C-alpha cells in the first residue's frame, strides 16, 4: 500500500517519527523531567540552594548572622511567638558542610520516598512529622528544663534549622513499601542511627530525629496507604541472626566512635572519657567480630557469650542506679564518677539487645561441632551420617542429619530415628535408618524411649514400609503428602507432554541463561550472598514466619554433601536456585537426589524453575543417578476417594486449604506434575487418636516454631 504523505489521516514520515520518539537531551530537559517526576523534593532543593546563595549560608556559618533568630526554630523561638520558624527554618543549614545533608541527602532520601509514596503523601508526611518532632522536642525541654536535668536545661536554650527530621520520617514511612529483606535492613539502619545519636551525641537535632522516627515508623504501614507491602509477622531465623550481628557490631562501633567525641553533653550528663589504647580497641573489635559472626551463623556459644555481655552492663547499671537512689551523693562526688553518662547509655542499649537475644533465642540453636557430634551419637561411635551412608534411607533421609534433630540410636549402635520435641510430642521424621529387618525393633525402642520420657511417639512423612510396621503394632495413620519421583535411566523430554519443559530449556538458551551444578559451600562469597538474597526476598512475601522441619533453607543448602543447581546469566546474576539432598543406597554412595530449596528471582527469567529442574535431572542422569525426588509438598496430594477419607484426612485437607493462600503447597504440587512423576504416598503414624490434639500443636510448632496464635488466626481469616 502506498502511503500518501500530507493527506488527512496519513502517518507522519519516518523522519518525523524519529524526531518525535527521540528523547530530550541536555541538562535543562533532564532537570525539567526530574522536577515533573519529583516536584516536592526538587522544589525544596532548589529553594534551599537559592536561599543558601542569597544568605551566604553556603560559605559561612549562619548562627552569627543577625537574621538567624528570625528563622531558627526551638523553644526560645516559640516562647517569643515566632511560630513561623516551623516553616522558614526548614530551608537553611547551620554550617556550609550541613548543606550536604539539607540538599544532598534530602534529594536522595526524600526523593526515594516520593517515588514510593507519591508527591502528596510524601509532602504531608515530611512536613507533618517535621513539625511534630520539633514541637515534641520543645515540649520535652519545656517540661524538664527546671527539673535539674542538665541535658534538658542546656538544650532548652538552643535553636536549630533544617528539614532532617521530616526527611527521616519520610524514609521511615517509605520503608513499608520496600520488599524484605531490605525492609528490615533499612529500618535497622534508621534505628541504629537515631539510637546512637540520641544516646551518645545528644544534640537538639538528635532528639528531633528520634521523635520523628518514633512517631512515624511504628505506623508506617498505615501511613504508606495502598503502596505498603505485606509484612512478615515475625523475622526469619536469618533476620533475627542479622539483628543480633548488627547489635554486636553497633556496640563495638559505638566504643570506637566515642573515642573521637569526647566531652559532650548526652542525655545522662557530660562525658569525661579518657582515650583507650589502640591495642585495646583493636582487641575489642576483634572479639566483637568473632561473636557477631557466630551469631550470624546461629551458634549457641555465641548466643551465650552475647547474653552474658549484655547482662553484665545491665547488672552494673542497675546496681549503680540503686546506689544513686539510696545514697545522697554531692555534686562533687557525682563529678568524680567518670564515664557515668556513657555507662547509663550503654546500659539502655544492653537492655534492648538483651531482650532481642532472649525473644529470638530459637534462632541460635546450632551447637558447636563437637557438641553436635556427641548429641548425634550419644554413647556410640557412629554418627547419623555414617549410619545413613552405610544402610541407605528414604528420599528425605538426609533431613534426619540436620543439627536441629535429636537422635535415638539403638543399643547395638546400628539404627536410629531422628526426632524433635514439641508440646510433649517426639516428632520423628521419615523412616528409621538401619540394617534390613531392624525397623520393628527400632520403632519399639523409640516408643519405649518416649514412654520413659513422658513423650507422645509420632512419626511424620514416613513411607509405606514404615506404615506397614506400625499397622502391625496397632498404630493409626493418615496420608500427609505424596512424593514425586522421576526415574532417570529412560528420561527424555520428548513428546507433547514435555512441551513446557522443552520450551523453558530453549528460552533459557536464547536469553543467555546457563545451568551450573555446584557445591554452594565451596563457591565465592558473592555467589552465596546472591543465593541468600533470593531466599530472603521470596520469604518476604509470606505473612507467616519462615517454615522449617522438612523445608530447608540456604543454611541447609550450604552442607557440602548437598548439590545446588543455579540458573545464571552472562552477567553473573543468579535467576534461580535449587538444592538437592543425597539419597544413599546400601553401597555408600547416592543413588538418587531429593529436591529441597526452590527460589526464583523476582523479575528474572520466568521459566527458571522448569529450566533448573529439567537441567538438574539431566545432570544427575549423566552422573549415573537412578532417580530424583521432587519431594512432597506438605498437606498436598492427588484427589482421594471421599468414601475412604477418615476424619483425620478431612482435617488435614482443611488445614491444607487454609494454608494454601499463604504458602501455596497445592500449587507447588500441581507445578511438579509438569515433570510427569510417579507418586509415592507419605504418611504420618501415631499410636492413639487421643494424642491428635497435642500432635497437631507439635507439628505446627515443628514447622512454625515462632508463630503466635495471632499469626495462625490471621491465616484462618484468609
pLDDT tens digits along 62-106: 888 889 999 999 999 999 999 999 999 999 988 888 888 778 899
Hey, which bits of 248-304 come out as E strands? 265-266, 269-270
Q: Do 210 and 132 contact (CB within 8 A), yes or no?
A: no
Q: Check residues 188 and 678 and name the one with the higher pLDDT.
A: 678
Is 460 a residue whose pLDDT tops 50? yes
Please provide residue 160's backbone torsions phi and psi, each rounded to the nearest 5 degrees.
-150, 165
Cell reading at 117: 509514596
Q: What is the mean pLDDT of residues 299-320?
A: 82
Q: Is the pLDDT of residue 495 over 60?
A: yes
Considering the chain, what is the average pLDDT of its residues? 81
- Using CA atoms, how far apart are residues 52 and 60, in angstroms rounded to an integer? 10
Work out the burial of residue 454: count CB atoms within 10 Å of its CB; fewer than 13 is exposed, 13-18 middle, 19 or more buried: exposed
Residue 710: pLDDT over 50: yes
Structural contact between residues 557 and 530, judged by C-beta atoms closer than 8 angstroms: no
pLDDT exceeds 90 at position 391: yes
Q: Helices 119-144 & 106-117, crossing angle to 10 degrees?
A: 120
Length reported for the chain: 718
- 327: exposed, middle or buried (Cβ count in 10 Å: 0-12, 13-18, 19+): exposed
Most confident of 139-153, 315-329, 426-440: 426-440
Nearest to 615 by CA among 551, 550, 692, 563: 563
Cell 533568630 belongs to residue: 69
Respond yes or no on whether the N-terminal peptide bond of residue 181 is cis (omega within 30° of 0): yes
The pLDDT, as a whole number, for residue 419 is 93
pLDDT of 37 above 50 = yes
Distance, first Cα to last Cα, the chain: 57
Among candidate residues 90, 178, 73, 77, the one with its CA nearest the CA of residue 126: 90
CATH classification code of 369-476: 3.40.630
Distance of alpha carbon 567 from alpha carbon 574, whole angstroms: 6
> What's CA 450's distance to the chain center, in Å?
36
pLDDT band at 120 (very low <50, low <70, confident <90, very high): very high
Q: Cβ(461)–Cβ(429) under 8 Å? A: yes
- pLDDT of 563 strictly over 90: yes
Please check whether residue 266 is in contact with residue 345, taking contact to mean a CB–CB distance below 8 angstroms.
yes
Classify residue 276 by its DSSP letter: P
Percentage of the chain modeled with pLDDT above 90: 39
Domain with CATH 3.40.630.30 in the chain: 483-688
Q: What is the reported pLDDT for 116?
A: 92
For residue range 180-204, what is the model confidence (pLDDT) as tens digits? 767 888 888 898 889 888 877 888 9
State the burial class of residue 523 (Cβ atoms within 10 Å of its Cβ: 0-12, 13-18, 19+). Answer: middle
The β-bridge relationship of strands 678-686 and 514-518 is unpaired
- Interacting residues of 503 by C-beta distance below 8 A, sequence separation 6+: 607
**Local structure of 478: helix, strand or coil:** strand
Q: Is 397 helix (H, G, I), strand (E, B) or coil?
A: helix
- Provide the grid cell at 202: 545528644
Q: Are 78 and 138 in contact (CB under 8 A)?
A: yes
**Residue range 576-633, pLDDT digits in tens:** 999 999 999 988 899 999 999 989 888 888 889 999 999 999 999 999 999 999 987 6
**Whether the Cβ atoms of residue 234 and residue 182 lie closer than 8 Å to each other:** no
- Burial class from Cβ neighbours inside 10 Å (0-12, 13-18, 19+) for residue 16 reads exposed
**pLDDT tens track for 522-560:** 999 889 989 988 888 777 665 556 667 778 888 899 999
Which grid coordinates belong to 643? 468414601
Rounded average pLDDT over 14-28? 47
Is the pLDDT reported for residue 450 higher than 50?
yes
CB atoms inside a 10 Å sphere around CB 185: 17
Instruction: Point out the least confidently predicted range of 20-24, 314-318, 441-445, 484-488.
Output: 20-24
Report the b/e string of 351-386 with b at 16+ CB within 10 A.
bebbebbeebeebbebeeeeeeeeebbeebebbbbe
**Percentage, residues of the chain above pLDDT 70:** 78
Q: Which residues lie across from 359 on neighbouring strands?
A: none
Average pLDDT over residues 387-411: 91
Judge contact between 399 and 562, C-beta under 8 A.
no
Please give the Cα distance from 554 to 531 (Å, whole number): 7
What is the reported pLDDT for 424?
A: 83
Give the DSSP letter string of 631-692: ---TTB-S---GGG--HHHHHHHHHHHHHHHHH-HHHHHHHHGGG-PEEEEEEEEES-GGGH
pLDDT at 297 over 80: no
Split at pLDDT 50, 70, 90, the class of 210 is: very high
**What does the pLDDT look like over 44-70, one tens digit per residue?**
999 999 999 998 888 888 888 889 999
> With left for phi above 0 and alpha for psi between -120 and 50, is residue 586 left, alpha or beta?
alpha
Q: How far apart are CA 280 and CA 291, in angstroms?
A: 17
Assigned superfamily of 483-688: Gcn5-related N-acetyltransferase (GNAT) (3.40.630.30)
Residues 6+ apart with CB under 8 A from 244: 292, 295, 296, 303, 306, 353, 356, 357, 360, 363, 364
Amino acid at each position: 500500500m502506498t502511503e500518501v504523505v500530507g493527506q488527512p489521516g496519513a502517518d507522519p514520515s519516518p523522519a518525523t517519527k524519529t524526531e518525535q520518539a527521540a528523547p530530550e537531551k541536555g541538562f535543562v530537559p533532564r532537570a525539567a523531567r526530574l522536577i515533573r517526576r519529583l516536584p516536592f523534593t526538587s522544589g525544596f532543593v532548589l529553594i534551599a540552594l537559592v536561599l543558601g546563595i542569597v544568605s551566604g549560608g553556603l560559605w559561612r556559618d549562619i548562627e552569627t548572622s543577625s537574621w538567624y533568630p528570625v528563622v531558627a526554630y526551638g523553644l526560645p523561638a516559640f516562647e517569643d511567638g515566632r511560630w513561623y520558624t516551623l516553616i522558614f527554618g526548614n530551608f537553611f543549614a547551620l554550617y556550609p558542610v550541613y548543606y550536604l545533608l539539607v540538599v544532598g541527602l534530602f534529594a536522595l532520601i526524600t526523593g526515594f520516598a516520593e517515588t514510593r509514596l507519591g508527591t502528596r503523601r510524601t509532602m504531608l508526611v515530611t512536613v507533618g512529622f517535621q513539625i511534630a518532632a520539633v514541637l515534641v522536642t520543645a515540649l520535652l525541654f519545656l517540661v524538664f528544663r527546671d527539673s535539674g536535668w542538665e541535658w534538658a536545661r542546656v538544650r532548652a536554650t538552643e535553636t536549630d534549622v533544617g528539614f532532617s527530621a521530616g526527611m527521616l520520617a519520610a524514609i521511615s514511612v517509605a520503608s513499608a513499601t520496600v520488599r524484605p529483606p531490605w525492609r528490615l535492613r533499612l529500618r535497622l539502619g534508621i534505628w541504629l542511627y537515631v539510637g546512637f545519636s540520641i544516646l551518645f551525641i545528644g544534640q537538639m537535632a538528635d532528639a528531633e530525629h528520634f521523635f520523628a522516627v518514633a512517631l512515624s515508623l511504628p505506623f508506617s504501614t498505615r501511613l504508606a496507604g495502598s503502596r505498603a507491602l505485606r509484612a512478615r509477622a515475625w523475622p526469619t531465623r536469618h533476620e533475627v541472626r542479622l539483628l543480633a550481628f548488627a547489635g554486636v557490631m553497633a556496640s563495638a562501633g559505638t566504643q570506637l566512635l566515642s573515642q573521637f567525641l569526647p566531652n559532650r553533653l548526652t542525655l545522662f550528663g557530660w562525658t569525661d572519657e579518657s582515650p583507650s589504647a589502640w591495642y585495646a580497641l583493636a582487641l575489642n573489635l576483634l572479639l566483637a567480630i568473632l561473636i557477631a559472626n557466630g551469631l550470624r551463623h546461629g551458634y549457641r556459644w555465641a548466643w551465650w557469650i552475647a547474653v552474658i555481655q549484655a547482662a553484665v552492663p545491665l547488672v552494673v547499671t542497675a546496681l549503680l542506679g540503686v546506689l544513686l537512689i539510696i545514697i545522697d551523693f554531692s555534686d562533687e562526688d557525682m563529678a568524680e564518677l567518670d564515664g557515668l553518662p556513657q555507662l547509663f547509655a550503654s546500659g539502655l542499649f544492653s537492655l534492648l539487645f538483651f531482650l532481642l537475644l532472649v525473644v529470638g533465642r530459637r534462632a541460635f540453636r546450632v551447637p558447636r561441632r563437637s557438641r553436635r557430634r556427641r548429641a548425634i551419637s550419644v554413647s556410640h561411635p557412629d554418627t547419623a551420617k555414617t549410619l545413613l551412608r552405610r544402610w541407605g534411607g528414604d528420599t528425605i533421609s538426609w533431613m534426619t542429619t540436620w543439627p536441629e534433630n535429636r537422635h535415638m540410636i539403638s543399643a547395638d549402635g546400628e539404627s536410629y530415628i531422628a526426632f524433635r520435641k514439641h508440646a510433649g510430642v517426639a516428632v520423628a521424621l521419615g523412616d528409621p535408618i538401619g540394617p534390613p529387618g531392624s525397623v520393628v525393633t527400632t520403632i519399639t525402642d523409640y516408643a519405649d524411649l518416649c514412654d520413659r520420657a513422658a513423650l507422645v511417639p509420632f512419626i511424620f512423612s514416613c513411607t509405606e514400609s514404615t506404615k506397614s510396621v506400625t499397622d502391625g503394632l496397632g498404630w493409626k495413620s493418615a496420608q500427609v503428602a505424596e512424593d514425586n519421583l522421576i526415574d532417570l535411566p529412560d528420561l527424555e523430554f520428548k513428546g507433547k507432554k514435555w512441551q513446557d519443559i522443552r520450551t523453558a530449556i530453549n528460552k533459557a538458551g536464547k536469553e543467555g541463561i546457563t545451568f551450573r551444578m555446584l557445591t554452594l559451600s565451596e563457591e565465592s562469597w558473592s555467589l552465596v550472598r546472591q543465593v541468600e538474597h533470593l531466599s530472603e526476598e521470596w520469604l518476604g512475601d509470606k505473612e507467616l514466619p519462615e517454615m522449617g522441619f522438612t523445608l530447608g533453607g540456604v543454611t541447609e543448602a550450604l552442607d557440602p554433601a548437598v548439590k545446588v543447581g543455579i540458573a545464571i546469566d552472562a552477567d553473573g546474576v543468579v535467576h534461580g536456585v535449587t538444592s538437592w539432598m543425597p539419597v544413599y543406597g546400601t553401597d555408600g554412595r547416592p543413588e538418587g537426589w531429593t529436591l529441597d530449596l526452590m527460589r526464583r528471582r523476582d523479575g528474572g527469567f520466568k521459566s527458571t524453575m522448569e529450566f533448573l529442574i529439567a537441567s538438574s535431572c539431566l545432570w544427575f542422569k549423566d552422573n549415573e543417578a537412578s532417580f530424583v525426588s521432587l519431594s512432597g509438598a506438605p498437606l498436598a496430594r492427588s484427589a482421594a476417594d471421599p468414601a475412604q477419607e477418615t476424619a483425620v484426612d478431612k482435617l488435614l485437607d482443611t488445614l491444607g486449604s487454609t494454608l494454601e493462600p499463604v504458602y501455596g503447597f497445592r500449587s507447588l504440587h500441581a507445578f511438579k506434575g509438569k515433570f510427569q512423576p510417579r507418586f509415592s504416598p507419605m504418611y504420618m503414624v501415631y499410636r492413639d487418636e487421643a494424642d491428635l490434639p497435642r500432635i497437631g500443636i507439635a507439628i505446627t510448632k515443628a514447622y512454625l516454631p515462632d508463630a503466635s496464635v495471632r499469626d495462625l488466626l490471621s491465616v484462618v481469616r484468609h
